[in-house]
Amino acid sequence: MSGWLILALLGGGVFAILAILRVGRPLWSFVGAALMLGAAGYAWQGRPSLAGAPREAARARLPDDLAADDLRDAMWGRFTYDYAYAVAADGLAKSGANEAAVGALLGGLQGAPQSARLWTRLGSAILAHDGGRVLSPAARLAFDRGLTLAPDHPAPYFYYGMALVQTGDLPGAKRAWLASLARTRRDASYREDLAVRLVLLDRLMAMQKGR
């Protein structure tokens, strides 16, 4: 069993326990953020492709942050033209169909070329398609386009920071998340979520320095 599959099973088990115990959704977000950052650290420092038992063919991807859909909808909104394409891309990515996710987003951009949401999501999709370890020029271009189209919106900075966490640029991720938090209304439902992720990121950075 590969390291990625072990992480995915662990994450699924944790969230199943939270559901059984009827734990409030705010804690789901905290646990999801912790698992995401832990998995990112594992991807950066560890060797997740190594098997712990006889190997099975599997598509490598980060375990799902099961609170991510709520955060996505809170930051970007719902039931818009670009919402449909972004949700479709998320579903494809969760099944490992990263190339199809990129195609869906490119299709959406044909009808909404000024959508910061779709450009930002395209950056994440290209990163996943490329293996999730290096931010390619194409992915950077997509993220930059999203930031340019919505310079005062917190979401492009947040998801760009997510990509930087995944590729190991933790200082860059912190700068992006601080920019996201600075653009978030004080009464926004997701402000605490962003703050929690920054705290966890600081702890991860401290752990890396201590090694």
Which range of 31-35, 123-127, 199-203, 207-211 scores highest in mean pLDDT? It is 123-127
Query: pLDDT digit string (tens) for 63-105?
Result: 445 457 888 899 999 989 999 999 999 999 988 899 999 999 9
Query: What CATH number should be reported for the domain holding residue 66?
Result: 1.25.40.10
The per-residue pLDDT of the chain, averaged, comes to 78
Q: Give the residue from 164, 158, 143 showing the smallest Cα distance to 193.
A: 158
User: Domain span at residue 188?
Assistant: 3-209
| Count of structural domains within the chain | 1
Q: Give the residue from 168, 136, 146, 149 showing the smallest Cα distance to 158.
A: 146
CB 71 within 8 A of CB 159: no
